[in-house]
Structure 1
Amino acid sequence: MNTSASALARNGRTGAERAARGSVMKGAARAGLTARGVIYLLVGVLALKIAFGEGQQQADRKGALEEISHQPFGKFLLWALGIGLVGMALWRLSEAVFGAAGKDGRSARKRLMAAGRCVFYSFVAYSVLSFAAGSGDGGGSSDKQSRDVTARALDLPAGQWLVGAAGVGIVIAGLVLAGRAVMRTYRKKMNLGQLSPRMRRLVDVTGVGGGASRGLVFAAAGVFAVRAAVEYEPQKAKGLDDTLRSFAETPAGPGLLVCIAAGLVLFGLFSFAMARWRRV
């Protein structure tokens, strides 16, 4: 009996792992990467409008969803976006359970990162689908969310240290993302043999420029979190929209925001390239 039960368990796990690496899950991954690209592309466009003094909407996920909702077939597009993000969450869940592609894909670090991404994209998918159904606000303003979370965290025992540590972690994560983009480590995850030399150069432009800009935005948001912790003022924390606007307040002026916003557009295009040529 025990032998039979063990054999059934092994067969069941093998079947589940085969499904996790099958065509359905690969399709879910590519749909998720495409959905991510749409969001970053629209956030970048909204940030460009702000840089040129034309933006009325927030340059964050909520602003992107509102922009989609105003387009022809907007409701259909929102549902498609939400379903794509569900696919992203399921793909990351399969990586957490069975491991990701690559030689170190089954390592504990990779599995833990995949689990964190699964939780994040599950929340994003839920917020998008709720917005599409008319029962949610797309996750709300990123700025308000950041201030509210920071305020609650500061009220905890050792809250300043917790917020400060989280801010430092975000800064480091942002710099790592930017560094990896510049070093083109994403190439290890792509089927480069399917790309022509010209297309490979275009992918590098989007991957380097987009990834570096994305990392700098993360790092800047982390700096504001550290500042909020040091000064014990949750209002100093910034979400994506306020973080992007802060680039225009530097000595470089709106020109820096234009560069960062263009980089986010590039990252959206890079996500489309990953959806097409990434190994999953």
Structure 2
Amino acid sequence: MADQRAPDWVIPMMRAGYSARGLVYLILGGLTMSAALWGGDAEGTKGALQTLRDAPFGQILLWLVALGFVCYGIWRFIAAYFDLENRGDEEKGLFQRLALVVTGLIHVGLGFAMASVALGVGGSSGGGGASDWTAKVMQMPGGKWIVGAAALGILGAGVHYVIKGWKKKYKRYIQNNETTQKLEPLLRWGFVSYGIVLAIVGLFLGLAAMNSDPSSAMGIGGALDYIRGMTGGRVLLGVIALGIIGFGIENFVEARYRIVPGVGHSSDIQSMAQAAKARAKSTARSAAAS
């Protein structure tokens, strides 16, 4: 579908989606840093949303964030359908585009869940929420396998984020400029940190499936509390908190500087990956000449 023209409103929708994600992860990172510095339970995503709801004009902000997450989901659907990022029609590209659709579905679901928090009917933010839905799914026919598949998906997403950050694969779609260059270390650690947290969530969900024990399941808040309970946990939690803040900033960077090849972005715009490759070639030529 890459030869078809995507709707003109896809870029504003993308910006709204990334901005909403950025706000949520900044709040989550701040709450996590507070738990690392001054103690108390680490809050999960729902705790961050409840904090936002209780802030001045929080109800309005929460509705906007919910709308932003739905916008992000729709952006992922459109990116997959029109192949806006030139992933291709080969097996690997189709798999990546399918992953975009799954990501879109998740974010649309999260958007509606946030709307329930805005209405005051959302649950608590701890691991109990994850345990509750895991128990409900396990009561379904084949529920244990469904939970196991979800665990593999979350674990895979965590590993993906770690690799994406460690190998700097995020640079492919971000414009190269002074701002993004200065923020690069924080962006990189943001992906790695968020991936570590997701991997912990996936591992414990997998244990819940293997042992038929829903109480083993935990959400992001539970994963952060698990990190805090490790040797030197408050220091580790602080480092992870910095990464989650970095991940929030990364989403704002994507909102402003993401390159979308299929929607009129000029080929003259240089990505961070292209700039790094050009610097490497220049260094190699200089070394060969000396």
Q: Tell me which residue corresponds to 1:147.
A: 131
Picking from 203, 217, 221, the partner of 1:223 is 203
8 Å Cα contact 1:100/1:110 also seen in 2: no
Corresponding position: 1:171 with 2:171: no
8 Å Cα contact 1:164/1:225 also seen in 2: yes
Secondary structure in structure 1 of the residue aligned to 2:218 = coil
- What residue ranges of structure 2 are gaps of 5+ in the alignment? 261-290
Q: Following the alignment from structure 2 to structure 1, what is the Cα–Cα distance between the partners of residues 102 and 198?
A: 16
Secondary structure in structure 1 of the residue aligned to 2:197 = helix
Secondary structure in structure 1 of the residue aligned to 2:5 = helix
Secondary structure in structure 2 of the residue aligned to 1:18 = coil
**TM-score, scaled to structure 2:** 0.80
Picking from 97, 103, 109, the partner of 1:111 is 97
- What residue ranges of structure 1 are gaps of 5+ in the alignment? 1-9
Write the deviation string for residues 71-126 of structure 1: whole angstroms up to 9, x where unpaired: 22222212221222222122112123222323538832132112111211111111
Picking from 35, 51, 57, the partner of 1:50 is 35
Assess, with a 3 A threshold, how the Cα gap between structure 1 residues 213 and 45 changes in structure 2: closer, same or farther: same
Assess, with a 3 A threshold, how the Cα gap between structure 1 residues 176 and 26 changes in structure 2: closer, same or farther: same
Query: Relative to structure 2, which stretch is displaced further, 173-182 or 34-43?
Result: 173-182
Q: Which amino acid aligns with 2:96?
A: K
Q: Following the alignment from structure 1 to structure 2, what is the Cα–Cα distance between the partners of residues 105 and 261?
A: 38
Q: Tell me which residue corresponds to 1:71.
A: 55
Picking from 62, 74, 88, the partner of 2:72 is 88
Secondary structure in structure 1 of the residue aligned to 2:12 = helix
Q: Following the alignment from structure 1 to structure 2, what is the Cα–Cα distance between the partners of residues 130 and 278?
A: 30
Q: Which amino acid aligns with 1:18?
A: R
8 Å Cα contact 1:46/1:55 also seen in 2: no
Secondary structure in structure 1 of the residue aligned to 2:180 = helix
Assess, with a 3 A threshold, how the Cα gap between structure 1 residues 87 and 168 changes in structure 2: closer, same or farther: closer
8 Å Cα contact 1:43/1:61 also seen in 2: yes
Q: Tell me which residue corresponds to 2:19.
A: 34
Assess, with a 3 A threshold, how the Cα gap between structure 1 residues 49 and 168 changes in structure 2: closer, same or farther: same
Corresponding position: 1:136 with 2:144: no
Shift of 1:165: 4.7
Assess, with a 3 A threshold, how the Cα gap between structure 1 residues 151 and 213 changes in structure 2: closer, same or farther: same
Q: Following the alignment from structure 2 to structure 1, what is the Cα–Cα distance between the partners of residues 72 and 124?
A: 21
Shift of 1:61: 2.4
Shift of 1:205: 1.5
Q: Tell me which residue corresponds to 1:188.
A: 172
Write the deviation string for residues 200-223 of structure 1: whole angstroms up to 9, x where unpaired: 333311221100000000111112
Q: Following the alignment from structure 1 to structure 2, what is the Cα–Cα distance between the partners of residues 225 and 158?
A: 16
Q: Which amino acid aligns with 1:173?
A: A
Q: Tell me which residue corresponds to 1:6.
A: none
Assess, with a 3 A threshold, how the Cα gap between structure 1 residues 142 and 125 changes in structure 2: closer, same or farther: farther
Assess, with a 3 A threshold, how the Cα gap between structure 1 residues 99 and 131 changes in structure 2: closer, same or farther: same
**Root-mean-square deviation over aligned CA pairs:** 2.6
8 Å Cα contact 2:47/2:124 also seen in 1: no
Q: Which amino acid aligns with 1:150?
A: T
Assess, with a 3 A threshold, how the Cα gap between structure 1 residues 144 and 38 changes in structure 2: closer, same or farther: same
- Number of equivalences: 258
Secondary structure in structure 1 of the residue aligned to 2:38 = coil
Q: Tell me which residue corresponds to 1:5.
A: none
Q: Following the alignment from structure 1 to structure 2, what is the Cα–Cα distance between the partners of residues 166 and 126?
A: 20
8 Å Cα contact 1:170/1:221 also seen in 2: yes
Q: Following the alignment from structure 2 to structure 1, what is the Cα–Cα distance between the partners of residues 182 and 229?
A: 31
**TM-score, scaled to structure 1:** 0.82
Q: Tell me which residue corresponds to 2:243.
A: 263
